[in-house]
């Protein structure tokens, strides 16, 4: 299904004023994301794991691993809270309210 979705996105991008990029090697994903700064990422779970693991390793090497882990936990909790019925976000992040 992911490959079909990818193909549909490519076709839609051809008809819309959208830039699209491809990365051929998982090793280059983190650098390419930093250079391209995409609004939307379409990828398989391994791609997202690679980006997460690289960011976490860099944070740990810079003695910020604890902060990174706390931020990751907060993001997961926030995402789960959005999925629960009746949740109202008190923050003012655009698009964060359902």
- Whether the per-residue pLDDT at 63 is higher than 90: the answer is yes
CA-nearest of 69, 70, 98 to 84 is: 98
For residue 34, what are its two tokens?
Answer: 């930093």
What does the pLDDT look like over 43-60, one tens digit per residue?
778 878 888 998 999 999
Query: In the Cβ-directed half-sphere of 25, how many Cα atoms lie within 13 Å?
Result: 3
- Whether the per-residue pLDDT at 94 is higher than 60: the answer is no
Residues of the chain with pLDDT > 90, as a percent, come to 23
Whole-Å CA distances, 85 to 17, 80, 94, 98: 36, 10, 20, 10
Helix (H) / strand (E) containing 77: helix 65-83
- What's the pTM? 0.58
């Amino acid at each position: 299904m992911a490959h079909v979705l990818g193909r549909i996105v490519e076709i839609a991008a051809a008809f819309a004023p959208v830039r699209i990029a491809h990365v051929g090697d998982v090793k280059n994903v983190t650098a390419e994301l930093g250079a391209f700064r995409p609004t939307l990422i379409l990828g398989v779970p391994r791609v997202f794991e690679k980006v997460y693991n690289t960011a976490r390793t860099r944070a740990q090497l810079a003695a910020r691993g604890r902060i990174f882990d706390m931020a990751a936990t907060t993001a997961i909790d926030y995402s789960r809270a959005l999925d629960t019925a009746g949740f109202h976000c008190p923050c003012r992040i655009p698009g964060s309210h359902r």
